[in-house]
Structure 1
Amino acid sequence: MKKIVIAGGGGFAKEVRAILERMNQKEQIWEFAGYVVNDRDGEEIFGNDEKLVSADESLHVVIALGKPKQREKLYKMYRKNPKLQFPNIIDPSVQMMSEVKIGKGTIICPNVVLTVDIEIGDFCLINMGCTIAHDDLLESFVSVNPGCNLSGNVKLGSLTEVGTGSTIVEGIAIGKEVDIWTGSAVIKSIPDKCIVVGTPAKIVRHKS
Structure 2
Amino acid sequence: MKLFIIGCGNVGKFIAYNFNCFEVKGFEITGFLDDDEKKWGTIVAGYPVIGGIHLINNETETIGCVVSIANPITKKEIIQKIRINNIEYPSLIAPNNWISNNVTIGKGVIIYPGVSVNYNAVLEDFTTINMNCAIGHDCTIAQYSTLAPGVSLGGFTYIEECVSMGINAATKQSIRIGKNTVVGGMSMVIRNLPASITAVGIPSRIIKYHS
User: Normalised by the shorter chain, which TM-score bucket?
Assistant: over 0.9
Partner of 1:123: 126
Q: For residues 50 and 93 of structure 1, what CA distance do their matches in structure 2 show? A: 34
Partner of 1:97: 100
Q: Could you list the per-position Cα deviations for residues 130-173 of structure 1 after superposition, in whole angstroms to 9, with x for gaps in the alignment?
A: 00010001111111011111110100010111111111111111
* 2:197–2:210 CA contact under 8 A, matched in 1: yes
Distance 1:94 1:61 in 2: 23
Match of 2:150 among 147, 151, 164: 147
1:10 partner letter = G
Equivalent residue number for residue 4 of structure 2: 5
Q: Could you tell me whether the CA contact under 8 Å between 1:19 and 1:91 is conserved in 2?
A: no
TM-score, with length taken from structure 1: 0.93
Q: Percent identity?
A: 25
* Root mean square deviation, CA, Å: 1.4
Question: Is this contact kept in 2: 1:23–1:29, CA < 8 A?
Answer: no
Judge conservation of contact 2:27–2:64 (CA < 8 Å) in 1: no
The residue number in structure 2 matching 1:167 is 170
Alignment equivalent of 2:160, drawn from 157, 162, 170: 157
CA distance in 1, matches of 2:34, 2:131: 24
Counterparts of 2:159 and 2:106, CA distance in 1: 15
Task: Work out the CA distance in 2 between the residues paired with 1:46 and 1:56.
Answer: 17
Q: Which moved more, 1:83-92 or 1:150-159?
A: 83-92
- Secondary structure (helix, strand or coil) at the match of 1:189 reads coil
**Equivalent residue for 1:20?**
19
Q: Distance in 1 between matches of 2:160 and 2:170?
A: 16
The answer on whether the counterparts of 1:37 and 1:49 sit within 8 Å (CA) in structure 2 is yes
Partner of 2:42: 42
1:28: how far off? Answer: 4.9
* Correspondence 1:74 to 2:78: yes
Residue deviations 1:14-69 (CA, integer Å, cap 9, x gap): 11223312124xx7543111111232113522332121111122111000010001
- The reply to whether residue 33 of structure 1 matches residue 22 of structure 2 is no
Letter in 1 for 2:94: D
Aligned to 2:67: 63
TM-score by length of 2: 0.92
Q: Does structure 2 conserve the Cα–Cα contact (< 8 Å) formed by 1:156 and 1:174?
A: yes
Q: In the alignment, is the contact (CA less than 8 A) between 1:108 and 1:127 conserved in 2?
A: yes
Kindly tell me the number of residue pairs found equivalent between the two proteins.
204
User: Which structure 1 residue ranges, 4+ long, deviate > 4 Å from structure 2?
Assistant: none
Task: For structure 1, list consecutive stretches of 5 or more residues without a partner in the other structure.
Answer: none
CA distance in 2 between counterparts of 1:205 and 1:10 reads 27
Q: 2: distance between equivalents of 1:28 and 1:141?
A: 24
Q: Deviations over 1:62-93 (max 9, x none)?
A: 00010001110110011x11112111111111
SS in 2 for 1:128: coil
**1:203 alignment partner in structure 2:** 206
